[in-house]
Amino acid sequence: MSEALARFPGRTVLSIWAWLVLGLTVLVALPVVALVWLATAWRDPGRYWAGYTFRKAAVVIAGLNPLWRFTVSGQVPADPRRPYMVVANHESFVDILLIAHLPFEMKWLAKSDFFSYPVVGWLMRMAGDIRLVRHDKASRSDGLVQMADRLGKKVSVMVFPEGTRSASGELGEFRDGAFRVAIEAGVPILPLAVIGTRDALVKHDWRFGATHAEVRVLDPIQTEPGMDVATLRETARTAIAAAVEELRREHGRG
């Protein structure tokens, strides 16, 4: 996808089409996910299949947006029910749509605002995603408990350890929570490096931007009982930072 397309007058028309696709796909997903949730609730306490079905809506939305090209690279885990604490850098809301292309289900730790949206919030609740109220200690503590619960039910958990999108594009400091839970639950960290999603949503512009975005799956980092949280956190951050730089060079952004 050329950068010239981002300035092409037809971007307005393409963006209208993409927003319509987004809205219609979410509406269609609601009854489908509800049916899967009802049909599997008795044998799927981790809501794996309801969540997996919900994430496929993101793949449809991205695939029908003519301004976007999404790529997955790296070694994807062979066993989708081997739980990981998945962590990634955070460029844009579109990170969610890109990472959803990975072929296994993850429960997302997401700010409470998303759960208040009609339809999207209902889908997230049925999928078993984890609600986080910012600046609320009780909510943060409950979020850690909920993450451990999902991992215990053999479902991976997805966290942006920076806590918020980077305003500068540089990788921010990581928070401890996800790494602490991973050590206590005895699950590996699965780092992801994301690039290109920042251009997918143009700041102060309702129109989408043209981009080639990529998510790269990095080598898992094993955890051990009593492992130092800070060491694990910085090991993951260093791996992601190096992979982001490599992706920038490959994409001609460095």
Spatial contact of 106 and 155, defined as CB atoms under 8 Å apart: yes
If we measure between CA atoms, which residue out of 66, 54, 47, 51 comes closest to residue 25? Answer: 54
| Cα–Cα distance measured from residue 38 to residue 73, given in angstroms and rounded to the nearest whole number | 34
Chain mean pLDDT for the chain: 92
Strands, E assignment, 47-182: 68-74, 85-88, 106-111, 130-132, 156-159
Average pLDDT score over residue span 66-76: 96
pLDDT over threshold 60, residue 65: yes
The 3-state DSSP composition of the chain as helix, strand, coil percent (nearest 5) reads 45, 15, 35
pLDDT over threshold 80, residue 203: no
Percent of the chain with pLDDT over 70: 95
Q: What are the boundaries of each domain within the chain?
A: 3-250
| Cα–Cα distance measured from residue 107 to residue 124, given in angstroms and rounded to the nearest whole number | 9
- The model's confidence at residue 2, banded by pLDDT at 50, 70 and 90, is very low
pLDDT over threshold 70, residue 146: yes
pTM, entire model: 0.93
Helix (H) or strand (E) holding 35: helix 11-40
Strands, E assignment, 140-249: 156-159, 189-195, 211-217
Which pLDDT score is estimated for 168? 67
| Cα–Cα distance measured from residue 213 to residue 98, given in angstroms and rounded to the nearest whole number | 8
Which pLDDT score is estimated for 1? 41
Average pLDDT score over residue span 52-66: 97
Average pLDDT score over residue span 128-136: 87
Tell me the pLDDT tens digit for each residue of 221-231.
999 999 999 99
Pairing of strands 211-217, 68-74: parallel
CATH code for the domain defined by 3-250: 3.40.1130
